[in-house]
Amino acid sequence: MWPVPYSASLTASAQAARLLNPTTSNIMYNTMWQSRSWYDAMQVKVDKRMSHGFQLQGSFTWSKAIDHSSGSTAGDTFQLGSVSEPWYDLSLDKGLSDFDVRRNLVISGLWDVPATKALGVFGEKVLGGWRLGIIATLADGIPQPIAISSDIAGEVIPTVQPPQPRRGLYSGLAHQFQFPQHLFEFNTSCLSLVRRTAANAPYCDGAGRGFSPALAASTCANIRGNLGRDVVIGPGLFNVNFSVFKNNYIRKISETFNAQFRAEMFNILNHTNFAPSSNLSPFNADGTATSSFGQLTSTQGDNRVIQLALKLVW
């Protein structure tokens, strides 16, 4: 979590004053399109080449990617990413990249099952020619950018506005199963607008936004919360694909003619992989809580798929 001091926040009137200053305006135009990124990783690969009919390969990446923004207004792959950065202080949006996957493990293997010669032709033709294959993937989820709608903040130049966290925001995916009808990835009740205090009262502005009188009097919609960017990690990925091949060489046609039977099973364990929530705005325009915020409503990848095929090779 990256703490953001109140002194780094600007009210709408303060931002307007800065825009009227040519020097400050030039700084704004020079920084609003900038972004920096940092990447560090440890990569390990284990490769056992084919011997005795067996081949195995495994790769593991342990990495961390940090940047100021992972997308742009051009509409890239990460469209949920924050593209309206606080131009007056880019460090406020420094956090995990939207594509950061902390750990990623992939293991693949092939095994040409040896044929038995004890049963003669039957053992060679029926029990021989089999090949088994497996690809297993295990990866962490990607970070999710939680932000308040720019309409609430009332900035002259809208920027990404993080909410204010409370204790117990994120306790892992096990937390979702506490909800009887819907799946939530984290405790959505542990986010709020910045509360009005004696220290921030001179800078607080919660009126004129359609808030209820009580909400307008107790919150400061124009002040950034100190929830860091991309501090909540989405659901991870676990998937196993399995294949069974049977090679049937027909020497009467040619030496290489092969009628290959293929059975391929994707997500053979039928494991449910939730996709990250598509609603990451905790509040409506009037400051009330968004009911669907943080819901897991879709999956990444398919359920178990089995396909059978006959392939002729010559």
Q: What does the pLDDT profile of the chain (314 residues) look like in tens digits?
A: 333 333 333 334 344 333 334 344 344 344 445 778 899 999 999 999 888 889 999 999 999 999 988 876 555 555 555 666 677 778 888 899 989 999 999 999 999 988 777 666 766 777 778 999 999 999 999 988 888 876 676 666 667 778 888 665 554 433 443 444 457 777 777 888 888 999 988 888 877 778 888 888 888 888 888 888 888 888 899 999 999 999 988 888 888 899 999 999 999 999 999 988 888 888 888 888 888 888 888 888 889 999 999 999 88
- Assigned domain for 185 exists: yes
Q: How far apart are CA 123 and CA 44, in angstroms?
A: 40
- Assigned domain for 239 exists: yes
- Assigned domain for 296 exists: yes
> How would you write 137-153 as a 3-class SS string?
EEECCCEECCCECHHHH
Q: How far apart are CA 85 and CA 190, in angstroms?
A: 24
- Assigned domain for 229 exists: yes
Assigned token pair, 307 = 């396909």
The whole-number pLDDT of residue 140 equals 94
Instruction: State which H helix or E strand residue 292 sits in.
Output: none
- Assigned domain for 1 exists: no
Q: What are residue 103's DSSP bridge partners?
A: 62
User: 313, 257 in Cβ contact below 8 A?
Assistant: yes
- Assigned domain for 284 exists: yes
The whole-number pLDDT of residue 292 equals 83
The whole-number pLDDT of residue 273 equals 93
Cα–Cα distances in angstroms (integers) from residue 93 to residues 84, 90, 190, 203, 225, in the given order: 10, 6, 21, 21, 12
The whole-number pLDDT of residue 42 equals 97
Q: Which of 253, 247, 252, 199 is nearest to 223 (CA)?
A: 199
- Assigned domain for 260 exists: yes
Q: Supply the pTM of this predicted model.
A: 0.74
Instruction: State which H helix or E strand residue 263 sits in.
Output: strand 258-266
Domain count for the chain, please give it: 1
- Helices 22-31 + 12-20 axis angle, to 10: 100
Q: What is the domain extent for residue 171?
A: 6-313
CB contact set of 295 (below 8 Å; sequence gap of 6+): 182, 183, 184, 185, 277, 279
- Assigned domain for 114 exists: yes
Residue 116 C-alpha from the chain's centroid:
48
User: 85, 162 in Cβ contact below 8 A?
Assistant: no
The whole-number pLDDT of residue 44 equals 97
The whole-number pLDDT of residue 205 equals 82
Instruction: State which H helix or E strand residue 168 sits in.
Output: none
**What is the amino acid identity at position 276?**
P
- Write down the residue that tokens 């919360």 correspond to: 225
The whole-number pLDDT of residue 123 equals 66
